[in-house]
Structure 1
Amino acid sequence: MEGLKACTTHSPPLHTSKLIRRTALNRVFALVYACAIIGLLYRHALKLNNYTTSATFLLSLFVFIADVVFAFMWATTQSFRMKPILREEFPENLEREPPMGVVNTALSILAYDYPTEKISFYISEDGGSQLTLFAFMEAAKFATHWLPFCRKKNVVERSPDVFFASDHPFTLCSETEEIKVHI
């Protein structure tokens, strides 16, 4: 373990958070409100013993149940108010996939020649940038020309990234109508 150094990369933050100043006021308010709810439920419990007719008892019981439900709902929301924070997100610091990688992935999947009734492909890109959406739309437009060309010319490697790469020259054989990629 002596030879290992600690990795100290200073990457930009994805978000920051800070405590809001009204935290103490929220806690005091919650204490006062909890005391008021306990007092209300205690008053309902005492009044339930004093009713002589069943109709007033039943009505009072329904009000008591409604107040218990209300108290439960209020108590479950207090965790958000005991330590309120303010967040600031920095989406520009997220690492996004290059649009050409997205386009090549989409075109490679579209190039599969499977029957559509047997298999479906769904491409999901979670970055959500406008540039990536534009890249998907352009890939779909390009695919309407590229894929019929590949099928007609018997192009085996249908990824445009490989096909148009400078280190992989290609030749068109006019007799067989095949494109051969020299690797």
Structure 2
Amino acid sequence: MATLSLHTCRVQQPHATINRIHIFFHFTAILFLLYYRTTCLFLEKNVPTLAWSLIFTSELILTIIWILIQAFRWHPVSRSAIPENIPGGIELPGLDVFVCTLDPKKEPTIEVMNTVLSVLALDYPPEKLSVYLSDDGGS
């Protein structure tokens, strides 16, 4: 028995090419900057060593973080759900939705009620859906 996929996943090719070119140029510039910092730190005599090494360390940390973030841009993916492939007659689990509020000045009452009404309008069996509204009572 073949199972149907509940979602599709495809690579956004035009965006991937543009992103990869940008990543390549940006990475090249970062390597030149790190090379410059390294050579100035170890080869020149009149460089303030503490400040220069702190700048070099911060740039090295930010480079590592930047490299880790680029994985999402190197292979951008577009996903879409296919609800038609959900098999009929399956037992849906119970769903609890908690809407927490804090301050009526930051979260107006009308917006909170719109959120609650949106949750209640979900296409889900009403006997399986529970909505809880929590207020801290601060004001």
Gap change, CA 1:85 and 1:131, over 3 Å in 2: closer
What residue is the counterpart of 2:72 in the other structure?
80
Partner residue in 1 for 2:86: 94
Q: Contact 1:51/1:57 (CA < 8 Å) preserved in 2?
A: no
Larger radius of gyration: 1
Count of aligned pairs between the two proteins = 102
Task: Calculate the aligned-residue CA RMSD, in Å.
Answer: 2.9
**Closer, same or farther in 2 for the Cα pair 1:37/1:15, shift >3 Å?**
same
Q: Distance in 1 between matches of 2:76 and 2:45?
A: 44
Flag the 1:46–1:137 CA change in 2: closer, same or farther, 3 A.
closer
SS at match of 1:22: helix
What are structure 2's unaligned runs of at least 5 residues?
Answer: 97-118, 131-139
Say if 1:59 and 1:136 are closer, same or farther in 2 by CA, change over 3 A. same
Instruction: Provide the C-alpha distance between the structure 1 equivalents of 2:54 and 2:36, rounded to a whole number of angstroms.
Output: 14
Higher relative contact order (CA 8 A, sep 6+): 2
C-alpha displacement of 1:93: 3.6
Q: Which has the higher strand share?
A: 2
TM-score normalized with structure 1 length:
0.47
Instruction: List structure 1 runs of 4+ shifted beyond 4 angstroms.
Output: none
Q: Which runs of 5+ in 1 are unaligned?
A: 1-6, 103-123, 139-183
Tell me how far 1:92 sits from its aligned partner. Answer: 5.3
Q: Distance in 1 between matches of 2:3 and 2:33?
A: 55
Identity of aligned residues (%): 24
